[in-house]
Amino acid sequence: NKSADSRGNVEKLASGLNKENLRDIAVQEKLIAEYLKDYEINQGTLDNIYALNRKYNSMISNENEVSRNVNWRLNSLEWDNLFNYGEGNKIDFDKLNGIVGIFGKNYSGKSSIIDSLLYSMFNSTSKNERKNLNVINQNKDDGNAVIMATIGDDQYKITRDSEKYTKKLKGNEVTEARTNVNFIKVDGEEEQSLNGLTRAETDHNIKKTFGTMEDFLLTSMAAQFGALSFIGEGSTKRKEILAKFLDLVVFEDKFKLAKKDSAELKAALKRLEGNDYTEKITEVSAKFQENKELLDCCSEESEGLKRELASKNAELSELESRIATAPDSASKLVMARERLGYCDKEIDSLTKKNQQLTEKVATKSEAREKIGEFLNNLDIIDLREQQEFLEVKSDELQDLLSEIKKSEGLIKNDEKKLKLLSEVPCGNEFPKCKFIKDAHNAKGTLGANKDNLLILNEKYDAVSAEIGISDIENIRGLIRKHEQLSMKNTQLTKDLADISEEIESVASRKNELLVSREGLIKQVETFEEDKEGLKKAKEYNADKQSLLSEISNLKTKLEDCEIRLRDFYLKHGSYEQNLINLREQRQELEDLRSEYSAYDLYMRCMHSNGIAYDIIKKKLPAINEEISKVLTNVVDFEVYMESGDKRLDIFIKHPRYIGRPIEMGSGAEKTVASMAIRLALLTVSSLPKSDVFILDEPGTALDKDNMDGFVRILDMIKSKFKTILLISHLDHLKDCVDTQIVIDKQDGYALVNG
C-alpha cells in the first residue's frame, strides 16, 4: 500500500481524453480507479469511493448543470437606454465577419457594448456590477436588451428589461431597479417559453444552455484589465484557470464538498479514537463473567432454599392435618382455654371501663350541682324586668336630650337676631323690612323657647333620677351568663343519663361474661382429666412451633438471597449493556475509519493536485504544441508551460537562449504570449463557446516591433471565430480591422446601429 503522502497517477489514461465529458460518471470512475491503482485498496473501499463520487456529482449537477462541448452563434443584439446609450441600438452579428473594430475615446461607450451583451445574457457586466440600477441610463427610467443566438438549428431569444422604482428604506426614499427576463426558443413564427417559475430559475436555464458568464469570459473575451490574467497569476491560480478551461473545476467543487463533510466525520473519529475499546471490552467482560458466576451460585442457593421451604410447609400442612384429626378432648381443651383467656381479658376491660364511667359521672354531677346552685341564687325574671325598664328609660333620655339641643339652638338663633337689630341704625323705622320683621318675631318667641327648655331639663333630671346608679351592662352580662349555664346544665343532665345507660350496659355484659367464665372453668377441668389427649396435643403444639420457627428462618434467608440475586441481575444487565455499547462503539469506530479512509482517498483524487493535475500535465504537450502553432511565423520567440513539483510555470525562449520565466518578458511579449495561450486552451476546452471573440483594449502594451506579430495572431483568431470584436482607442489598430462599428451621438446619447 502507498504511504499517506504519496499519490496516484492518471496520465496514461488522461492521454486518451481529448474532449471527453469529464462530468460523465463512467469517465470519472475510470480516472478514480486508475489514480488509486497503486494504493491496492479492496473493492469494498473502491465502491464506497464511487458512492461518494455519485453523491457529490449529483449535488454539483443540481447546482451547476451546464452543457459541454457546445458551440453557439450570436445572431444579433438590440438594446435601449443602457449605460450611456439611448434608444434604438442594434448590432447584426450575422452580417459581421472577420475583425470588427470599435474605436473611440475613453468613456465613449465602447466597452458598454460588451456590457450590454453580458447584461442581456447573464444579468451582469465585465465590472461585476450586480445592481441593475447602475446599468440603466441615469437619465432614463428603464432599459432593455434583446439577444438572438443559435445552437445548431435551434434559435433562442433572450429579452431582459430593468425599470427604476422608488421605495422607502428606514424613512428615506431610495431608488432601486426591478428586472424581468424571458428565455424563448424560436421556431419560425412559433415561440416556446423556456422560463422557470422565478427569474433565478430562468437565468439558470439560460446558463444550462449557453454556459455561465465565467465560461464566456474564459472562452470568448480578453478584457481590458484581464488580458494578462493567466500569465500574471501564480502557479496555483494558473492551475485553477487551466482547470476551468479543461472543465476540471468539477473535481475541485467536489473536493470542497467532501472536505466539509469529512470535517464532521474527522471530529467524530477523533472523539472515538481516544478510547481503547478492546481493553475496555476485556475489562468489562471479566467483570461480567465474575458476576455471572456469583449470580449462578446465588441462583442455586435460592432454588435450594425454595425447595427446603416447600418441604417444611408440606410438613406443617401434614402436622395440622394430624392436629385436626386428634381426639376431641385435646382440641376442645385448647379451645376452652383460649375462650377462657378471652373471657378474662374482656371482663378486665369492662371493669376498667366501668371505673372510667363512674369517674365521669362524679365529675359531671359535681359540675351540674355548682351550676344549679348559681342559677338558683339568680332571679332571672327580676333581671329581665330591670333590663327592659332601663332600656325604655335610656331611650327616653336620648329623646329628651335631642329636644333640649334643638330648643337651645332656637334660643341661640333668637338672641342672635335681637342682637343684630340693636346694632342697626334704622331701628323700627322700616317694619316691612324682612330683617327687622324677623327680629321682632324672634323677640316674641324667645320667652316661649326658654320656658320650653326649662320644662325639658326638668323632665331629663326626673328620668335620670329614676335610672339612678343602675348598671345596664352588668345586668345584660348576668342574663347572658344565666343563658349559657342553663344550656350547659341541660347538656350535663343529658350526658349523665347517657353514661348511666352505658354503665348499665357494661354491668349487664360483665355479668354475662362472669356466667360464661364459670362454665368455661368447668369445661377446662373436665378436659384436663384426659391425660393422653393432652400429651399428644402438647407434642403437636411443640412440633408446630418448631416448624413455624424453621419456616420463618428459611423465609428470612430466602429474602436475603433474593435481594442479593436481584443485585447480581442488575449488574448482569448493566455489564451486558455496557458490552453491547462498547462493541457498537468499536464497530462505529471501525466503520468511521473505513468511511474516513474512503473520504481521504476520494479527496486525494479530487484535490487540485490529484486527478485534475495529472490531466493538466498530460494535456500540457498538446497545449504547448497549440501555442507553438499560434506563434510560429508570428514572433521569433517560443512560449511553453511546464509542470514540476505540483507547480505550473510558463517560460519564454528566444533563439540561441535558454528558456526563462515569462515574468521576465516585456509587456508586448506577455500580451502576445497571453493571446497565444488563450487560443491554445480553446482547442482543448470543453466549455461552451460562442462564435464571437472580444478583445477589449488588447494592444495597449504592444510596441511597433511586436505589432506585426499581434496582427498575425488576430488572423489566427479569425480562423477559430467567425467574428472578432476589437475594442480600442489606438488609431494604429484601425488598419487591422475588416469592418468598423461607429458609435454616433443622438440627442446627447451614444448610438450604434451596425
pLDDT in tens, 40-66: 888 988 999 999 999 988 888 766 667
Same domain for 432 and 555, yes or no, is no
Quick one: pLDDT at residue 749?
93
Question: 297 with 151, same domain?
Answer: no
Residue 276 Cα distances to 271, 280, 285, 583, 611, angstroms:
12, 6, 14, 11, 37
Q: Give pLDDT, residue 129.
A: 66
The rounded mean pLDDT for the chain is 84
pLDDT category at 330 given cuts 50, 70, 90 is low
Does residue 483 sit in the same domain as residue 580? no
- What proportion of the chain, given as a percentage, has pLDDT over 90? 34
For 605-617, the pLDDT digits (tens) are 999 888 988 888 8
CATH of the domain at 139: 3.40.50.300
Q: Once rounded to an integer, what is the mean pLDDT over residues 430-447?
A: 69
C-alpha distances out from residue 593 to 34, 273, 408, 603, 700, Å: 23, 9, 117, 15, 57
Q: Is 52 or 436 the better-scoring residue by pLDDT?
A: 52
Where does the pLDDT of residue 552 fall: very low under 50, low under 70, confident under 90, or very high at 90 and above?
Answer: very high
Beta strand 723-728 with 692-696 is parallel
Provide the percentage of residues in the chain whose pLDDT is more than 70: 88
Domain count, the chain: 3
Judge if 614 and 706 occupy the same domain.
Answer: yes
Domain annotation covers residue 525? no
Last residue of a domain, one of 604, 633, 659: 604
Evaluate if residue 72 carries a pLDDT over 60.
Answer: yes
Same domain flag for 667 and 572:
no
Q: Comparing 708 with 683, which gets the higher pLDDT?
A: 683
Q: How confident is the model at residue 595 (pLDDT cuts 50, 70, 90)?
A: confident
Same domain, 649 and 739: yes
pLDDT-based confidence at residue 188 (cuts at 50, 70, 90): confident
pLDDT digits (tens, 9 = 90+) for 120-166: 999 998 877 668 889 999 999 999 999 999 999 999 999 999 999 99
pLDDT in tens, 406-425: 888 888 887 787 777 666 65
Confidence of residue 6 (pLDDT cuts 50, 70, 90): very low
For residue 1, what pLDDT is reported?
43
Split at pLDDT 50, 70, 90, the class of 9 is low
- The whole-number pLDDT of residue 471 equals 72
- Sign for the CA dihedral angle at 241, 247, 251, 252 comes to positive
Q: Using CA atoms, how far apart are residues 284 and 35, in angstroms rounded to an integer?
A: 44
The whole-angstrom separation of Cα 223 and Cα 210 is 20
Q: What is the mean pLDDT of residues 330-334?
A: 67
> For residue 62, how many C-alpha atoms fall within 13 Å in the half-sphere facing its CB?
6
**Domain coverage including residue 404:** 379-500
* Chain centre to alpha carbon of residue 315: 69
What are the DSSP calls for 329-365, one per residue?
HHHHHHHHHHHHHHHHHHHHHHHHHHHHHHHHHHHHH
For residue 731, pLDDT beyond 80: no
Least confidently predicted of 175-184, 392-401, 702-711, 719-728: 702-711
Task: Please give the model's pTM, rounded to 2 decimal places.
Answer: 0.57
Residues 492 and 383 placed together within one structural domain of the fold? yes
Mean pLDDT of 685-711: 76
Residues 482 and 564 in one domain: no
Specify the range with the lowest mean pLDDT, choosing from 48-52, 274-278, 641-645.
274-278
Give the residue-averaged pLDDT of 77-93. 95
Higher pLDDT, 463 or 264: 264
> Among 179-183, 411-415, 510-514, where is mean pLDDT lowest?
411-415
Q: What are phi and psi of 393, to 5 degrees?
A: -65, -35
Same domain as 232, residue 140: yes
What is the reported pLDDT for 20? 62
Is it the case that residue 604 has pLDDT exceeding 50? yes
Q: Do both 488 and 399 map to the same domain?
A: yes
| 614 and 581 within one domain | no
Both 212 and 238 in a single domain?
Answer: yes
Contact status, residue 230 vs residue 218, Cβ threshold 8 Å: no
More confident residue, 514 or 534: 514
